[in-house]
């Protein structure tokens, strides 16, 4: 059985906004096995970036981790001191932020930005750092002659590769990539994802890919964590969660995105409505206002995350009827705003 590198349990992260509190991550639990790619997927605002940032403990000033554990190789990242955490960033856990390709500093060459990590964080000397820069560019498929270029001299896809090179600079065990291919065209998306997969396999690292696009998960991930409104709706192997989903939200997401492989996909069916305002989440199941299979009990009782198969969990009162619900979910009219139950 694959060893677990990271185990997140009942993680809670809140933002304070004026007098109110937004529970952006409200009891999330999932595992990242060693040497795998895990996709953290869900619509905008469901808490993906908040989790990603919590894992590196680089959170906004108005954010706080209010509960739970993030066990990384026997250490709970929630309770490490800032100094311990700092020693671990880049060296063990590297984070590629959302819009990383636009966040490279425009006034420095990419080599000096790589050097910042290699020399200041990694303690490498000038020669070693130069050698490592060249290795890193080779790893991500960019000519080393371009190390002295400025970010604006690269295409969007190349800037994303530079961001990946930065993340890999100090040989981390876990790379967290927040929306690594959003804003790139489909061909470049595939190239970047293929490269991430090759690097992950060659280096034996684990990767968390944060994305709103379930087709990215289907294309590259080994495991899926589906988030909805601050909670994990479903998690498990890619095969189990995407081929045989047990949660209506996963079933809906699957219908809503085109296939990244370019295979002929049927009609895309959006999930009507929008996620709830996390300052005032609905009682019971948070997906209830949009779920075509909602029952009265769903509106009152929050469904716990329960085992529905080997290494497969889902939080739905009707998970036991998943086979029947999947058949109904495949029909376009199921999602037309008409509640079936
Ligand atoms: N600094 C902040 N202050 C207040 N609320 C915030 C802050 N950052 C995020 N939020 C709120 O927390 C929730 C989760 O945001 P988060 O950025 O984690 O979502 P996301 O899933 O990454 O979305 P996206 O796909 O748009 O990147 C949202 O309701 C968002 O408005
Ligand atoms: S618990 Fe009820 S409302 Fe929530 S996803 Fe399951 S069937 Fe739908
Ligand atoms: Mg985000």
Q: What is the pLDDT of residues 50-99, one digit of tens each?
A: 999 999 999 999 999 999 999 999 999 999 999 999 999 999 999 998 88
* Spacing, Cα 64 to ligand 1 middle (Å): 13
For residues 216 and 260, is the Cβ–Cβ distance under 8 A? yes
* CB of 294 closer than 6 angstroms to any ligand 2 atom: yes
Q: How many residues does the chain have?
A: 341
For 199, residues 6+ apart whose C-beta sits below 8 A from its C-beta are 139, 140, 164, 168, 205
Supply the pLDDT for residue 260. 58
Domain 4-92+172-242 adopts which CATH fold?
Answer: Rossmann fold (3.40.50)
Residue 57 phi, psi (nearest 5): 60, 30
pLDDT at 117: 95
The per-residue pLDDT for 264 is 47
Please state, for a pLDDT cut of 90, what percent of the chain lies above it.
84
228 CB near ligand 2 (under 6 Å)? no
Nearest CA to ligand 2 atom 6: 316
Q: How many Å lie between the centroid of ligand 3 and the Cα of residue 110? A: 25
State if residue 212 touches ligand 1 by the CB under 6 angstroms criterion: yes
Nearest 5°: phi and psi at 175? -115, 130
**pTM for the structure as a whole:** 0.94
Taking only the tens place, the pLDDT of each residue in 209-229 is: 999 999 999 999 999 999 999
- Numbers of helices and strands, H then E, in the chain: 12, 12
24 lines ligand 2 (CB under 6 A): no
How large is the average pLDDT for residues 311-327?
97
The Cα 223–Cα 12 span in angstroms is: 22
Average pLDDT of the chain to the nearest whole number: 93
> Please, which pLDDT band fits residue 266 given cuts at 50, 70 and 90?
low
Burial zone of 278 (CB within 10 Å; 0-12 exposed, 13-18 middle, 19+ buried): buried
Q: For 110, how many CA atoms within 13 A lie in the half-sphere containing its CB?
A: 33
Compute the Cα dihedral for 78, 80, 81, 82 and give only its sign: negative
Q: What is the sign, positive or negative, of the torsion defined by CA atoms of 178, 182, 188, 190?
A: positive
Ligand nearest to the CA of 43: 1
- Cβ–ligand 2 distance for 165 under 6 Å, the answer no
Q: Read off the pLDDT of residues 167-217 as tens digits, 9 standing for 90 and up.
A: 999 999 999 999 999 888 888 899 999 999 999 999 999 999 999 999 999
Of 316, 175, 174, 163, give the one whose Cα is nearest residue 251. 316
In angstroms, what is the span from residue 296 Cα to ligand 2's centroid?
10
**74 Cβ neighbours under 8 A, 6+ residues apart:** none
């Amino acid at each position: 059985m694959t060893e677990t590198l990271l185990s997140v349990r009942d993680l809670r992260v809140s933002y304070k906004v004026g007098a109110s509190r937004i529970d952006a991550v409200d009891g999330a639990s999932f595992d990242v096995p060693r040497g795998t790619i895990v996709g953290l997927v869900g619509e905008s605002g469901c808490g993906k970036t908040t989790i990603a940032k919590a894992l590196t403990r680089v959170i906004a000033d108005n954010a706080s981790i209010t509960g739970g554990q993030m066990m990384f190789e026997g250490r709970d990242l929630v309770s490490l001191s800032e100094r311990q955490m700092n020693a671990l960033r880049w060296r063990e856990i590297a984070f590629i932020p959302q819009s990383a390709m636009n966040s490279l500093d425009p006034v420095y060459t990419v080599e000096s930005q790589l050097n910042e990590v290699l020399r200041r964080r990694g303690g490498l000397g000038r020669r070693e750092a130069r050698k490592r820069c060249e290795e890193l560019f080779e790893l991500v498929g960019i000519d080393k002659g371009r190390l002295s270029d400025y970010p604006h001299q690269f295409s969007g896809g190349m800037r994303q590769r530079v961001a990946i090179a930065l993340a890999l600079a100090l040989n981390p065990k876990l790379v967290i990539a927040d929306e690594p291919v959003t804003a790139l065209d489909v061909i470049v998306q595939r190239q970047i994802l293929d490269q991430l997969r090759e690097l992950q396999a060659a280096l034996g690292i684990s990767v968390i890919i944060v994305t709103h696009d379930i087709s990215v998960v289907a294309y590259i991930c080994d495991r899926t964590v589906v988030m909805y409104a601050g909670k994990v709706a479903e998690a498990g192997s890619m095969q189990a969660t995407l081929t045989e989903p047990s949660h209506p939200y996963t079933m809906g997401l699957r219908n809503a995105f085109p296939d990244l492989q370019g295979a002929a996909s049927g009609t895309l069916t959006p999930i009507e409505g929008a996620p709830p305002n996390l300052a005032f989440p609905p009682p019971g199941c948070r997906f209830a206002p949009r779920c075509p299979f909602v029952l009265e009990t769903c509106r009152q009782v929050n469904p716990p995350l329960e085992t529905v198969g080997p290494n497969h969990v889902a939080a739905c009162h009707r998970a036991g009827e998943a086979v029947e619900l999947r058949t109904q979910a495949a029909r376009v009219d199921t999602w037309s705003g008409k509640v079936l139950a």
